Structure 1
Amino acid sequence: MTDSRSRIIDRIARSTGGNFSTDSLEESFKALTVKHTLPPVQPQMEMADPVATFISEAGRNGARVTELESIAQVTPWLRDNTDNTSTSARFHLSPSILTQSLDWDGLTTTTETPTAAQSWGVVQAHTGIAETGTVMSLSDECPSGLLFLVERLVIVIAREDIVAYQEDAWQRLRARNILPRTVNWITGPSRTADIEQQIQIGAHGPREADYLVIDKPR
């Protein structure tokens, strides 16, 4: 009598158009995993300028997008945007931001895990995805907690790191050769409609999100 595992493999083989023997589970699994499939269907979008699409989609998802000429303008932008706050902002910096030679004079910075209100996270994204206005962050470049425990998240992304589709982002990650422990996807500020079917901002992450699109990353 054929066991349940063999029946499952046989059903998978038939549904994928294969003709694999269930006599050897190992050989069947190998044949199924190497079988080529059609490429994923990507949405029909105008991608003549992925950066413009990224900015548009990010704005639709509630992120504020600012274009800067160079990464040196990040700290002046932070100063300008904290002048009107009632209390002093505390900037939690990711390791990738710390490697940049920026002028933090006059700004309160830390690498500790965020715990209080008025905390800002300043991070650098690995990849921006025009398809959805999403940014990809890697845990070895930015601790995951920094992305979710701050009140306002500032993400620096270079124009050259913005791709059209999410498949392109995974391809860039594979080309890196070293995989991080965690890959986080951020699409604007945190929001949910689980509570009474009404949008709640900041339910499980930052209430505000800013994307700083940089022409010259270094």
Structure 2
Amino acid sequence: MTDSRSRILDRIARHTGGEYDADSIEASFQALAQSQTVNSVQPEMGLTDPIATFIEEARRNGARVANLKSMDQVTQWLRDNARHTSTEVRFHLAPNIIDRSLDWSGLNTTEQTPAAAGSWGVVQAHTGIAETGTVMSLSNECPSGLLFLVERLVIVIARKDIVGYQEDAWQRLRACSALPRTVNWITGPSRTADIEQQIQIGAHGPREADYLIIDSP
């Protein structure tokens, strides 16, 4: 009895006028799939320096990038940048940032879900991906809402956690002792061109994004 897959392939053959049957189509498909798996699906990139590629791609996506020597400099960076805002900034901290022994004095911090203008999210990424300038965040380290409900998102990432390709990021995730419920990928500030084909910033998330690359974790 002919299965549904074979019937579909036979119908394609009849409508395209081809002189072949489902078996020959299936054989051709398998041969093509086999030939394509020989070559790597990863794009050819000059990844002699993944950090430089990550920074270049992140900036191309609209994110600002700063290099810091250590985690101790994060809070001072926040103080310096908050001075340039016209409204009071409230810093919403992810759990993996709160666990750090940092000096938060003088900063208006909270663990509550952001809901108002002037809110900045401060999170630490699990992995950075040089291929696209993307950061990976895990829900068991940072609540997903914190990534999308703030006006400005500050993402801290250790230099050692930046990898070349997406496949490398998934490999690091599989090495975790416990998998998260959600994996979020952030590529610069939120934007869309769905409205009259014009780029709109902050449509579905933060209007601004900063990546702080830490030399020493």
Task: Give the TM-score of the pair, scaled to structure 1.
Answer: 0.85
Task: Spell out, residue by residue over 1:82-111, the C-alpha distance to the aligned partner (whole angstroms, 9 max, x if none).
Answer: 112222100000011011101000111111
Provide the rounded CA distance (Å) in 2 between the counterparts of 1:121 and 1:60: 21
Provide the rounded CA distance (Å) in 2 between the counterparts of 1:51 and 1:139: 25
Deviation at 1:39, TM superposition (A): 5.8
Provide the rounded CA distance (Å) in 2 between the counterparts of 1:172 and 1:153: 23
Residue 164 (structure 1) aligned with residue 164 (structure 2) = yes
Deviation at 1:40, TM superposition (A): 4.1
Deviation at 1:178, TM superposition (A): 1.7
Provide the rounded CA distance (Å) in 1 between the counterparts of 2:183 and 2:117: 26
Find the residue that maps to 1:65 and give its secondary structure: strand
Deviation at 1:2, TM superposition (A): 3.2
Deviation at 1:45, TM superposition (A): 1.1
Task: Spell out, residue by residue over 1:175-218, the C-alpha distance to the aligned partner (whole angstroms, 9 max, x if none).
Answer: 1142110000000000000100010000000000000000011x
Aligned to 2:16: none
Residue 16 (structure 1) aligned with residue 30 (structure 2) = yes
Aligned to 1:92: 92
Which stretch of structure 1 is more off in the superposition, 173-182 or 136-145?
A: 173-182
Structure 1 runs (4+) greater than 3 angstroms displaced: 5-8, 10-14, 37-40
Provide the rounded CA distance (Å) in 2 between the counterparts of 1:71 and 1:155: 12
What residue ranges of structure 2 are gaps of 5+ in the alignment?
9-21, 32-36
RMSD: 2.1
Please show how residues 106-121 of structure 1 align to structure 2 within 5 Å. Answer: 106-121=106-121
Aligned to 2:68: 68
Provide the rounded CA distance (Å) in 2 between the counterparts of 1:6 and 1:179: 39
Please show how residues 64-213 of structure 1 align to structure 2 within 5 Å. Answer: 64-213=64-213
Deviation at 1:152, TM superposition (A): 0.1
Deviation at 1:5, TM superposition (A): 6.5
Residues 59/98 of structure 1: CA separation in 2 closer, same or farther (3 Å cut): same
Residues 135/39 of structure 1: CA separation in 2 closer, same or farther (3 Å cut): farther
Aligned to 1:33: none
Aligned to 1:51: 51
Provide the rounded CA distance (Å) in 2 between the counterparts of 1:161 and 1:203: 29
Task: Give the TM-score of the pair, scaled to structure 2.
Answer: 0.86
Number of positions where the alignment pairs a residue of Structure 1 with one of Structure 2: 200
Provide the rounded CA distance (Å) in 2 between the counterparts of 1:210 and 1:16: 45
What residue ranges of structure 1 are gaps of 5+ in the alignment?
18-36
